[in-house]
Structure 1
């Protein structure tokens, strides 16, 4: 089987958007590969992390989706998977039975911690390419790019 070479225009394209996209692909692929070892997706880990860190506020499914940048269909699918595996449960709101609040289980909290530690190792491997000063500049620049006045459409992952 013949291996196709990348299109020259893609290889030589070094504009800002392309570089950001390629960097996100590289980091995202490394994260996805690592999280797959835990039997969940990056979105699943994102949901578990949000529930583990902020369970006190009793976020409804709707509020959780808005906070994470996940549309309703994507969030419901992810919550279904997490619930089937016993990592979360959805509790009806006593004031409105139509409203559900996702709650992380002990099993979910344990997996989230282990997976989070593994992802932190992956992130550290990328950060070793930069000095502390370069990382500070990069984080500041990316943080500023992530902020904006216009709405962001689609899921964050």
Structure 2
């Protein structure tokens, strides 16, 4: 019987970047599975959340910048949401090339239900920590998210 050779990069790792990445993968997968029950993606829910906020009634271009989504990614997501009748894109009366995505009543209801489900998922993760530990985790993540390094790609 031959011994299986382990590749060093695949052996359990404990460096900071790897741990953050693995935690993001695990938590993200659970969020993605939960949100899929509503027929949207995590990115789609992010868009619906932004559109449900009255302040976020922006052109597609401004919405994409706010969410950290490039034009192609945002357009694809808006197309899916529009086909599902969760949003409509309203032409700007001053410039027919400009569209403002607006959440529909159906989209608003789905967004609220999905948000509540995701809150429960988050609550389950937070329950693994004491209040004090959660305060430390939250503070650390906020500090990391507010770093000096440039951000590449979308927020989701």
Q: CA deviation at 1:66?
A: 0.8
Task: Tell me the equivalent position of 1:85.
Answer: 84
Report how many residues are paired. Answer: 153
Task: Tell me the equivalent position of 1:20.
Answer: 20
Say whether 1:46 aligns with 2:58.
no
Q: CA deviation at 1:10?
A: 2.9
C-alpha separation between the residues in 2 aligned to 1:35 and 1:125? Answer: 15
RMSD: 1.8
Task: Tell me the equivalent position of 2:148.
Answer: 149
Task: Show CA shifts across 1:88-123 (max 9, x none).
Answer: 000111111111100000000000000000011001
Task: Tell me the equivalent position of 1:105.
Answer: 104
Task: Show CA shifts across 1:110-153 (max 9, x none).
Answer: 00000000011001110011011111111111011111333311
C-alpha separation between the residues in 2 aligned to 1:57 and 1:49? Answer: 9
- SS of 1:155 mapped into structure 2: coil
C-alpha separation between the residues in 2 aligned to 1:130 and 1:59? Answer: 38
Structure 2: unaligned runs, 5 residues or longer: none
Structure 1: unaligned runs, 5 residues or longer: none
TM, length-normalised to structure 2: 0.92
C-alpha separation between the residues in 1 aligned to 2:20 and 2:56? Answer: 34
C-alpha separation between the residues in 2 aligned to 1:64 and 1:13? Answer: 38
TM, length-normalised to structure 1: 0.91
